[in-house]
Amino acid sequence: MSYLPNILFAIILIGGIGYFVKNVKKLFRNINLGQDVDVSDNKPERWKNMARIALGQSKMVRRPVSGFLHVVVYVGFVIINIEVLEIIIDGLFGTHRIGLSILPTSVYGFLIGTFELLAILVLIAVTVFWIRRNVIKLQRFWKSEMTGWPKKDGNFILYFEMVLMTLFLVMNATDLHFQSLNSGNIISQFIAPIFSKLPETTLHVIERSAWWIHIIGILIFLNYLYFSKHLHILLAFPNTYYGKLTPKGQFNNLESVTNEVKLMMDPNADPFAAPAEGEADEVPAKFGASDVQDLSWVSLLNAYTCTECGRCTSECPANLTGKKLSPRKIMMDTRDRLEEVGKNIDANNGEFKDDGKQLLGDYITNEEIWACTSCNACVEACPVSIDPLSIIIEMRRYLVMEQSAAPSELNNMMTNIENNGAPWPYNQMDRLNWKNE
């Protein structure tokens, strides 16, 4: 009978981690629905970016207030989780504060003391975050795409962290043995008096409950990630690693187009020549993207990584002047559609069944796509190296090359280039006239 809690703990732990692993697999599969791109280059630079941007939070601190608070929560979150290690060992083996029997009391006290300090700092930071979202109503959290689930999600995470931190402190405050050591209880010693009138058995029940709810809460939180913008705490790392290294202004040249253009321009090319090896059974290339599968897998990773912070949108010239375009919404739509496609595949035994929908049209409108100035402000602003612009350009490519659906003024401009070699209807032979004007 005495093993019951250990067994229960093991079951909860395995269940919690198991469900998480299942969803991570799904995540991988969904990201892999994207087109292949070669990102195996420049490994040292990529590691450096990851260390600087994800680990070092270099882009977060560009906005000093939220940046600083975020660093507190981030550092707190990472370090306090060392405590989870002890909880897991205690839970599995029925020990109590195993750390105390391994480490000298002073060292253990130092560790827990640090955790407690961080816990209270996280609690404060998270409260300020909540106030910024809900009381001050910072504009970027109240844009049109931030209603319904995204809005709730943002707050849920904050509540989660508040509850977890409180449980951790309460657990320590009601642990008589720990309090009697008087080492490391720098915060919880001030909470302990609240409970001091309660009988020892009640205290024990509170301590145990806090302990259990704390670890269960962490497992729920872990599994919540997949459904939340909070996934960035994991994906920010690969995402910054795979982020764009070339100058921001450089758009990729479509290889499929290069081949065709070369054929068109080369008078000696034999249009009936056998395609090079490997190309024979390839499906004819689709130019640009109208759905998530047409985007590169890095774009799909981008979509799952997006924290919905809206820094991109708050710098977007189109959005700032009241246009429908919001780079954050581009990322959120991409993720939503990708999730929809993933569920479709799950429901149809691993095959995608055409649902008559696509990302372009059903989620993102042409109006949004054409409002972009390709200014890269969104890319620059993103704290986790997301590139909304590349998705916009892929969709323009689809609209122009597959659908001939550019705004008519742009069609005129392109006809001019074809006919006169300039976007305006001027004669090529007048190109040097400025010299004598």
- From ligand SF4, another protein, none, interface partner of 308 (C-beta below 5 to 8 A by class): ligand SF4
Which residue, 259 or 376, has its beta carbon nearer to ligand SF4? 376
Give the ranges where 306-436 is alpha helix by DSSP (H). Answer: 317-320, 327-347, 359-362, 366-370, 377-381, 388-397, 408-420
Which residue, 249 or 356, has its beta carbon nearer to another protein? 249
Least distance from ligand SF4 to the Cβ atom of residue 320, Å:
9
Radius of gyration of the chain (CA): 28
Which residue, 199 or 284, has its beta carbon nearer to another protein? 284
Examine residue 60 and tell whether it contacts ligand SF4 (CB under 6 A): no
* CA distances (Å), origin 239, targets 50, 51, 382, 383: 8, 12, 11, 11
Residues that contact another protein, how many (by CB under 8 A): 70
Examine residue 324 and tell whether it contacts another protein (CB under 8 A): yes
- From ligand SF4, another protein, none, interface partner of 370 (C-beta below 5 to 8 A by class): another protein
Examine residue 295 and tell whether it contacts ligand SF4 (CB under 6 A): no
All residues at 6 or more sequence positions from 92 whose CB lies less than 8 Å from its CB, including other chains: 6, 9, 10, 13
| 328-357 positions binding ligand SF4, by CB under 6 A | 328, 331
Number of other residues whose CB lies within 10 A of the CB of residue 246: 10
Contact 383, 309 (CB under 8 A): yes
Stretch near ligand SF4 under the rule CB under 6 A, chosen from 123-131, 237-245, 374-382, 421-429: 374-382
| 248-277 positions binding another protein, by CB under 8 A | 248-251, 253-254, 257-258, 260-262, 264-265
Examine residue 281 and tell whether it contacts another protein (CB under 8 A): no
- From ligand SF4, another protein, none, interface partner of 309 (C-beta below 5 to 8 A by class): ligand SF4
Examine residue 170 and tell whether it contacts ligand SF4 (CB under 6 A): no
Number of other residues whose CB lies within 10 A of the CB of residue 16: 18
Examine residue 244 and tell whether it contacts another protein (CB under 8 A): no
Which residue, 217 or 310, has its beta carbon nearer to ligand SF4? 310
| 285-314 positions binding another protein, by CB under 8 A | 287-288
Q: How far apart are CA 129 and CA 307, in angstroms?
A: 14
Contact 332, 146 (CB under 8 A): no
Which helix (H) or strand (E) segment holds residue 201: the answer is helix 200-224
Least distance from ligand SF4 to the Cβ atom of residue 237, Å:
14
For tokens 């469900």, what's the residue? 19
Which residues are bridge partners to 296 per DSSP?
A: 35
x/- site string to another protein, residues 325 to 344, per CB under 8 A?
A: x-------------------
Stretch near another protein under the rule CB under 8 A, chosen from 91-99, 151-159, 295-303, 388-396: 388-396
Which residue, 182 or 419, has its beta carbon nearer to another protein? 419
Number of other residues whose CB lies within 10 A of the CB of residue 432: 7
* CA distances (Å), origin 237, targets 191, 219, 301, 354, 385: 37, 21, 11, 33, 10
One-letter amino acid for residue 91 of the chain: G
| Residue whose C-alpha is closest to residue 33's, from 297, 356, 327 | 297
272, exposed or middle or buried, with CB in 10 Å at 0-12, 13-18, 19+? exposed
Examine residue 421 and tell whether it contacts another protein (CB under 8 A): yes
Contacting residue, 182, 373, 419, 433, with ligand SF4 by CB under 6 A: 373
Least distance from another protein to the Cβ atom of residue 370, Å:
6
**Interface contacts to another protein, rule CB under 8 A:** 246-251, 253-254, 257-258, 260-262, 264-265, 287-288, 315, 317-318, 320-325, 367, 370-377, 379-381, 393, 395-401, 406-407, 409-410, 412-414, 417-418, 421-424, 426, 428-437
